[in-house]
Structure formats: C-alpha cells, structure tokens
Amino acid sequence: MDTQKNEILKKMKSMGVFWALVVLFLVGCIASPQFLKAGNMINVARQISINGIIALAMTFVCLIGGVDLSVGSQVAVYAIIMATMMKNNISPFLAIPAAFATAMLIGFLNGLGVSKGKLAPFIMTLGSMTALRGLAKYISNGSPQSWRNTDINIKFIGQGYVGFIPFPVIIFIILFLAAFYTLKYTSFGRSVYSVGDNKEAARLNGINVPRTQLICFILTAFGSFVSALVLTSKLSSADPTAGDGYELTALSMCYIGGISTMGGVGSITGTLIGACLLTVLSNIMNLVGINSYMQNIVQGLIVIIAVLLGGLGGLKRKKKA
Amino acid sequence: MLRMNHISKEFPGVKALNDVSLTVENGDIMALVGENGAGKSTLMKILSGAYEMDEGELWIDDEKIENPTPAKMIEKGVAVIYQELMLLPHLSVAENIYNGRYPKNKYGKIDYKKMNADAKAVLDKLHLPVDPEEKVVNLSVARRQMVEIGKALSKDAKIIVLDEPTAVLADSELEGLFNLVRALSKEGISFVYISHRLKEVFELCNKVTILKDGCFVESGPVEDYDTDKLVARMVGRVMTDIYPEREHVIGETVLKVENLNREGVLHDISFELHRGEILGFAGLAGAGRTETLRAIIGADPYEKGEITYFGKKVKFGTIKEAVDAGIGMVPEERKLQGLHLKHNMIFNMTLPKLSKYSDKFGTISPKQEKKVADEYVDLLQIRPFNSEIITTNMSGGNQQKVVLAKWLASDCKVLFVDEPTRGVDVGAKREIYEILNSLLKEGLSILMVSSELPELIGTCDRICVMNSGRITGVLERGEFTEEKIMSYATMEV
C-alpha cells in the first residue's frame, strides 16, 4: 500500500512542474494582453525550439548521469564553419554536411573521453567547452561571419513557415517525438536509463556501457548542430560568441523537468515542460517589461525552487519507506 | 554489564526479532551465534542505536536507556566494529582514532602533537607496533581491525561488538586479535562476538547465546556445548526443512573450463558443469570464487585457459557476448550489481533480452513486457504482487527473486549465482532454492558461489573448494561435510 502511495506521490511530483506551467500561463494571460496573441505564442514556440533542441539531446546525457558543458561552444563552431564556408561562396550543400561531419567528430571525441578515457563528463566537456570556443574564434578570427551572396538562401530553415508554424518548431516537434520514441520504446533508450541507474548492473545485464555513453555525446553534438543550423540560417551570419550559455539553459530545462542529476530517472516530457516553463517565464517578463538583470535572478531562482521541490518530494518518500 | 530484555523488532512483513534477551557481564566474551537471518545483526543494530526496538528494554549497568540513538550509545560505552571497517583509508591512524573529536588548541587549530601522543598511548596499551602518523591504507586488514578496537577504547567503550571480525583475516592473524580481546576482557571490558566459525567460539568465548529465526534459543557457558550440540541448537529442525528435495539428474557437459589462469588471481582452474546440475564453489573470502565466474563471463581478463561452451570453444570478450550466449549472472551484491533500484520490476526483468518484447523494427511493446513480468510475479510469488513497484521498495528476498526472474525471462541456459541468499530471511531462502530447482528441471545448469556451507551442502551436486586462486578439492554429493570443505578451504597451497 505504502509503495502504491509512493507511486502516486511521484506522479504528482512530476505533474507538479506541469501545474506550475499552467499557473504561469494564467499569470501571463492576466499580466499582459499581448501574451495570448497568436503572434506572441508563435514567437514563444520558436524560442522554445532553439534552446529546446539542445535540451532534448542533453536529456540523454543527463539520464546517463552525465552533463555536456560544451554544447554552447559547439553551436558556435558549427555556425562559424557554415557561415565562413558560405561567405567564401561554398555551396550550403557542402557547408552544412561539413559542419555535420565536424559535429559527429566532436561528439565522438567527447564520448570517447568519457567512455574509454573514463573522464568525468563534467571535466571532459569543461575542457572541450573552452577549446571549442577558442576554435570558433580562431576560425573566424574573432569576428562575425556573414555572407552577401543572395544565391545562397537557406533562410527557410530558420525563418520559414509550414502553414502558420515556424519551421524550427516543426524540427523541434519531430526531434521531440523521435527522442520520446527512443527513450520509451527502443533498447537503446533502456540502455540509457540502465547506465544512469546502475552502471555495474547494466554491464552484468549485457549492456554495452561505453557505447551507450558515446552515443549520448554524439546526440548532444547533433542537437548543437541542428541548433547552429537554425540560428545561422535565421541570421544569415554567425558570431563566434554564439551559443554562449546554451549549456546552462539546456541543463536548467532538464533539471526543472525532473531529470535526476545522478541519472537514471526522468522523462523527455519533463524536459519539454521544463523548456516551456523557462521560455514562457522569460516571455512574460519581457512583455511586462521586467529589467533583464532581474530576469536572470528570477530564472536562477526558478531552477533552485523546482529542483528543491522535487527533492523534498523525494525526501518525504524516503521517510515513509 | 549489559542487559537486553525481551527485545522485539518488526520490519514490514518480517518479524526480525521476537522476544530476544541477551545478558553480558563485565569481562564476558559472549558469542552470539545463529544462521544468517537469525537476527544477530538486527539485535546488534538495536544495541548500537541504529535501529529502534518495537518492544523491550535496554539496560547498561543499572541504568535503563530510553530511546537509544547512536550518539547516546557511544556515550554509554557501546562500540560496534563491523566487518566492513569504518576507517578512512587516506587519513592517519591517529586522525582515524580521534575522527570527529580532534584535540584543539585555544585558537581552534587541531593539536596534532597531542593527538599523535594520545594515539600512541592507546596503541601502546594494545601492544600494537603502529606509527600513529601512518596512513591507514598502508596497514593490513588485521592491523586496521585493531586500530578500530583502539578507537573504541579511546572513547571509553565498555561493551565492544565484533561482527564477523575473522572473515577477512588469515589464520595467522587470528592469534593477535584473540590475545588482544582476552587481555581487554581481563580488564573488565565486555565483548559480543559474532562469527560463523564455531571453532573460534570455543577457542575465544566463555559464554554463548543462540538465536534462530529471530527467536532466543538458549544461553549458557561455552563449556556446556560441543560443535554438534551448538549446530543442532542453531539450525534446529529447519536444517532438514529449508532445502527442498529434488531429483539429481545430471546430463551432458555444457561448460568446460580448462587451466584458466589469471596472473596472481587464478591458477589452473579446471572443472566441468553438466546440464541439470548445481556445481558449488566453496572457499574463504578472497579464494578466487567470484573471480572465476567473472573471468568466464568476460568481466575480467584471463591470460591462459580454454572454455568450451556447449561443445564450442569460446572466449567472451565482453559480458554482452556471454549474456547473448545464454549465461546469466546473479551477482553477489544484489543492490550494487544486480538491480536497477530506481526502476520497477518490469524494467529489471526484461532488460537482458529486450528483443523478445520488440517487433521487427525494434519497437518495444510495454504491454508485452508487463504481461511477461506479471507472469513471473505470479509464478515466483514475488511480493508485492505488482510488477510496477520500484524495486528499491522491496525486501531483499523479493529483490533476489526479481533478479532470478530476469534470467528466467531471458531464456538463459547457464546461471551463475553468487551468494544467492545473502541477507535474505529464512522463508524467502527456501523459495529461492525452489526457484533454482525448477530451473534445473527445465534443463538449466547452475554454478553457485556461497560462503554458507549448509547452503552448499543442502543444494549442490558437487562442490569445488577453492583456496588462494586454486581448486584444492572437488567433493561429490554424499561426501559433503563442513569439516571436509573447511579442510580443503584452509589447506596450504
């Protein structure tokens, strides 16, 4: 009976963030007449997708008990590669695959350091975060890269619409569904949860732990690549400082959504809700004209409060058991 | 003097202690004996304040201790020294002895000079030639144990509990520990001594208290007992009951290991495992039993040796290959190695062979998974009867059943079980043996590592005894006795 009660408690806890989002939504409606307007909603959706794409991939790394701090720097590298090539009149059909190949290589190296090198993910990606930021600045000589050649038109990826839905939002939805399916219905998804819960038990169950870790870091590289593509095509240029702080935003979304920092527990739906919550919050604050410094304060506190509430739920459960 | 009167303690679903009493006079060395699950550890955890008792009284000297907590019991002079030592390996001996209560000067700086001198005095009292500034990691296990005793004494312990202190010691190291215990008991310090090695009980202790299935059996001076009488009291009728009968039908060879060698760990390990057989591996801790299993399934490397599995030469490079070939592993540390405690029974049971629940595109069917998991919950009588329970909330016996169900559901052919009933209560033990029997009936073969000799004797067809990485003897069913096994296990090699 007690365990059943725990289950219910746990469900309520995961629903807690969802209810917080609902409340926030209502607050938005009251606080600003602009909030519910179609234009604003579409804007919010587009915002969610840019950071959310990385958060989706980050969820996999978090679930195996890791973290990828390098995603922001990765975004800059891929964006700079694409923009620099296109500035030199190289076709996007070459520039985009080149950035993609770089992403696979970087993801592979991050994953290799963690899985074979046995480095803590924090340390491995702390190193690559710094190095890759340097790389982006080195390639671009520290200045933004943009192209004037009007033959090169990839604006659709970042700015296009399908009906009234922005194309990046379509990308985000597809990736979300793919991640949802992978985590819930494939053996790779199970490996991810299994490695995050108990590495040794996973090994004894015949799960290839290093391979699982490697793939997760390739996924964050892929997420960073897609994000870079959306960003670059939207602006027709890239800045070597692009993506600064994306890693923290993505991690915030995961943790708010209930992914355990220890790994093994959480769902991609949680990350989606976390992403919505953070983005809607910042949208509302923009609409009512809250000072951007104050916005940072609120965003930071929200992360702490969300995880604290989650942790308290856990504590209560423990006491009961 | 310690008196624990009419202590009862219930865990959800298990009556761990039922009206148990224990009296230890000053200077006594009291043996506390009983099978695993008899309630010894629970009783000691109540004494140390780690567990609350449901009923009963705890008296030290002539004071009744209300609401014992760990801090209060330390203050009253109770010290428990566990088998897994609680020392911090990278701190010095002195720092360990005074951990948490370092002497300080008036500015709050730790007074190392005083601490080392005090520690030296404690060590001298124990006649222990150890430098107080030596790091604990550099000491032998025996020395560490004595440092633990020193730490207890420095806190003015009057009652010291030794929980299986000798399980990790070599025979040559025993004498030092015993001499120390005897000397301290002469000074009026009381000991409660828990050990499975009955020989030591007779050698060291002056009194004995016997527990069985959480109940008090009897207590008396050690002279009133011999080994047979003690075992009879400890085991009672359960001995004949706990191991279910089965037919011993042995088939063809399924696994043949020849001259397996791993530098410094395994030497020329050779044996055959047959269909429908339980082959036991006996030996003391560190004899190389678990290491043998791990080498076979590819968890550890080996330099030399040949493994033939169902007639084919194999060398499993990773555990995955072994699992795919149909070898299941029920590991020693259920919680650390066997289960995904954050997940439910379904997740755990289906993990090794998810392809069984997937369609041709690799999409797992949760419905199919739940159906199979529910079948095993029903078949193995796993409680609670709800496959969606997170496994961390289950009892040890039921967790172990989940681990077994996992391999049943994964159609394995050979099962390696390491200490299958450790920390499992007596009732669940029998159920686990029954599960193993039904596996044998289905044509599986089982390799069982166990430190409980009665378990090996009660369940195995043959027993390989190991010592220092070698197989020192193989016993056939019919010639099993604890003495024979122990003599091979301690044989000079």
For chain A, give every domain's residue range.
Answer: 26-320
Q: Quick one: CA dihedral A263, A264, A266, A267, positive or negative? A: positive
* Cα–Cα separations (whole angstroms), residue A41 to A82, A276, B185, B341, B422: 30, 11, 79, 41, 58
B330/chain A closest Cα distance in angstroms: 9
Residues of chain A contacting B322 with CB distance shorter than 8 Å: 206
Test B337 with A198 for CB contact under 8 angstroms.
yes
Of A187, A198, A204, the CB nearest to B362: A187
User: Which one of A185, A204, A262, A316 would you mutate to disrupt binding with B, by most B Cβ within 10 Å of its Cβ?
Assistant: A204
User: Which one of B334, B360, B393 would you mutate to disrupt binding with A, by most A Cβ within 10 Å of its Cβ?
Assistant: B393
Q: How sure is the predictor about A311, in pLDDT bands with cuts at 50, 70 and 90? A: low
Token pair for residue A147?
A: 């192209």
Residues of chain A contacting B320 with CB distance shorter than 8 Å: 206-208
Residue B219's beta-bridge partner residues?
B209
A264/chain B closest Cα distance in angstroms: 7
**Cβ(B278)–Cβ(B440) below 8 Å:** yes
B388/chain A closest Cα distance in angstroms: 9
Q: State the pLDDT at residue B363.
A: 93
Residue with tokens 């890759």: A132
Amino acid letter, residue A265: V
Of B354, B386, B392, the CB nearest to A190: B354
Residues of chain B contacting A201 with CB distance shorter than 8 Å: 331, 336-340
Token pair for residue B341?
A: 């405690």
**Cβ(A192)–Cβ(A183) below 8 Å:** yes
A190/chain B closest Cα distance in angstroms: 7
What does the alpha-carbon distance between residue B31 and residue B16 come to, in Å, rounded to a whole number?
Answer: 19
Residues of chain B contacting A208 with CB distance shorter than 8 Å: 318, 320
Residue A5 has pLDDT above 60, yes or no: no
Residues of chain B contacting A197 with CB distance shorter than 8 Å: 340-343
Helix (H) or strand (E) segment spanning residue B402: helix B396-409
Of A187, A198, A265, the CB nearest to B364: A187
A192, closest residue in chain B (CA to CA): B351
What does the alpha-carbon distance between residue B481 and residue B479 come to, in Å, rounded to a whole number?
Answer: 6
Q: How sure is the predictor about A210, in pLDDT bands with cuts at 50, 70 and 90? A: very high
B209/chain A closest Cα distance in angstroms: 32
A194–chain B Cβ distance below 8 A for any pair: yes
Residue B344's beta-bridge partner residues?
B390
What does the alpha-carbon distance between residue A161 and residue A159 come to, in Å, rounded to a whole number?
Answer: 7
**What average pLDDT score do residues A124-149 get?**
94
Residues of chain A contacting B389 with CB distance shorter than 8 Å: 3, 7
A63, closest residue in chain B (CA to CA): B342
Q: Quick one: CA dihedral A286, A291, A297, A298, positive or negative? A: negative
Of B322, B336, B384, the CB nearest to A3: B384
A263/chain B closest Cα distance in angstroms: 10
Q: State the pLDDT at residue B249.
A: 83
What does the alpha-carbon distance between residue B284 and residue B121 come to, in Å, rounded to a whole number?
Answer: 35
A159–chain B Cβ distance below 8 A for any pair: no
Q: How far is CA B274 from the centre of its chain?
A: 28
A319/chain B closest Cα distance in angstroms: 12
Residue with tokens 């005095």: B121
Q: Express as a percent the part of chain A with pLDDT over 70.
A: 92
Q: State the pLDDT at residue B14.
A: 66
Q: Quick one: CA dihedral B301, B302, B303, B304, positive or negative? A: negative
A205–chain B Cβ distance below 8 A for any pair: yes
Token pair for residue B265?
A: 């760990």
Which top CATH class is A26-320? mainly alpha
Test B351 with A205 for CB contact under 8 angstroms.
yes
- Note if the pTM is more than 0.80: no
Test B358 with A187 for CB contact under 8 angstroms.
yes
Of B322, B342, B384, the CB nearest to A197: B342
Test B351 with A264 for CB contact under 8 angstroms.
no
Which carries the bigger pLDDT value, residue A66 or residue B237?
A66
Residues of chain A contacting B318 with CB distance shorter than 8 Å: 208
Phi-psi region of B149 (alpha: psi -120 to 50; beta: other; left: phi over 0): alpha
Q: State the pLDDT at residue A1.
A: 42
Test A3 with B389 for CB contact under 8 angstroms.
yes
Angle between helices A38-63 and A246-256 (to 10 degrees): 80
Q: State the pLDDT at residue B461.
A: 93
What does the alpha-carbon distance between residue B293 and residue B285 come to, in Å, rounded to a whole number?
Answer: 14
Among A69, A211, A78, residue whose Cα is nearest residue A128: A69
Of A184, A186, A193, the CB nearest to B362: A186
For chain B, how big is the Rg over CA atoms in Å?
A: 25
Of A187, A194, A208, the CB nearest to B340: A194
**Cβ(B406)–Cβ(B435) below 8 Å:** no
Residues of chain B contacting A63 with CB distance shorter than 8 Å: none
Residue B3's beta-bridge partner residues?
B23, B59
Q: Is residue B273 classed as helix, strand or coil in its secondary structure?
A: strand
Judging by DSSP bridges, how do beta strands B414-418 and B327-330 pair with one another?
A: parallel
Q: What are phi and psi of B278, to 5 degrees?
A: -105, 115
Residues of chain A contacting B352 with CB distance shorter than 8 Å: 205-206
Of B320, B322, B336, the CB nearest to A208: B320
**Cβ(B36)–Cβ(B204) below 8 Å:** no
Test B341 with A197 for CB contact under 8 angstroms.
yes
**Cβ(A201)–Cβ(B340) below 8 Å:** yes
Residue with tokens 């997760």: A216
Q: State the pLDDT at residue B239.
A: 47
User: Which one of A198, A200, A259 would you mutate to disrupt binding with B, by most B Cβ within 10 Å of its Cβ?
Assistant: A198
HEC letters along B64-132: ECCCCCHHHHHHCCEEEECCCCCCCCCCEHHHHHCCCCCCECCCCCECHHHHHHHHHHHHHHCCCCCCC
Among A155, A148, A176, A202, residue whose Cα is nearest residue A52: A176
Amino acid letter, residue A228: A
Q: What are phi and psi of B78, to 5 degrees?
A: -100, 130
What does the alpha-carbon distance between residue A135 and residue A76 come to, in Å, rounded to a whole number?
Answer: 9
* Cα–Cα separations (whole angstroms), residue B440 to A81, A296, B100, B275, B427: 62, 64, 53, 8, 21
Q: Is residue A291 classed as helix, strand or coil in its secondary structure?
A: coil
Distance linking the first and last C-alpha atoms of chain B? 45
A203–chain B Cβ distance below 8 A for any pair: yes
Token pair for residue B136?
A: 């604990």
Token pair for residue B181?
A: 């215990």
Interface of B with A in 359-388 (CB under 8 A): 362-364, 366, 384, 386, 388
Per-residue pLDDT of chain B (493 residues; tens, 9 = 90+): 899 999 999 876 567 899 999 999 999 999 998 876 678 888 999 999 988 899 999 999 989 998 889 889 988 999 998 876 788 888 999 999 998 888 888 888 989 999 999 999 999 888 888 899 999 988 887 888 889 888 998 988 999 999 888 766 766 778 888 988 999 999 999 999 988 777 888 999 999 999 987 889 999 999 999 877 887 787 665 445 678 888 888 899 999 999 999 988 899 999 999 999 999 999 877 788 989 999 999 988 999 999 999 999 999 988 889 999 999 999 888 878 889 999 999 999 999 999 889 998 889 999 999 999 999 999 888 888 889 988 888 877 888 999 999 998 988 999 999 988 876 766 678 888 988 998 898 889 999 999 888 889 989 999 999 988 999 999 999 889 888 888 888 776 6
Residues of chain B contacting A199 with CB distance shorter than 8 Å: none
Of A2, A3, A201, the CB nearest to B340: A201
Q: State the pLDDT at residue B421.
A: 84
User: Which one of A183, A185, A194, A260 would you mutate to disrupt binding with B, by most B Cβ within 10 Å of its Cβ?
Assistant: A185
Token pair for residue B475?
A: 């016993």
Q: What is the mean pLDDT of chain A?
A: 90
A7–chain B Cβ distance below 8 A for any pair: yes
Cβ contacts from A onto B, under 8 A: 86
Phi-psi region of A177 (alpha: psi -120 to 50; beta: other; left: phi over 0): alpha
A130–chain B Cβ distance below 8 A for any pair: no
Token pair for residue B144?
A: 């560490």
Residue A321 has pLDDT above 90, yes or no: no
Longest alpha-carbon distance in chain B: 77
Q: Is residue A120 classed as helix, strand or coil in its secondary structure?
A: coil
Q: Quick one: CA dihedral B403, B408, B411, B412, positive or negative? A: positive
Residue B191's beta-bridge partner residues?
B29, B160
Q: What are phi and psi of B119, to 5 degrees?
A: -65, -40
Cis ω before B384 (30° cut-off from 0): yes
Test A3 with B406 for CB contact under 8 angstroms.
no
**Cβ(B412)–Cβ(B329) below 8 Å:** no
Torsion on CA atoms A51, A52, A54, A60, rounded to nearest 10: 150
Burial of B492 (0-12, 13-18, 19+ CB in 10 A): exposed
Helix (H) or strand (E) segment spanning residue A28: helix A2-31
Helix (H) or strand (E) segment spanning residue B422: none
What does the alpha-carbon distance between residue B224 and residue B209 come to, in Å, rounded to a whole number?
Answer: 12
* Cα–Cα separations (whole angstroms), residue A32 to A21, A24, A100, A292, B36: 16, 12, 41, 17, 68
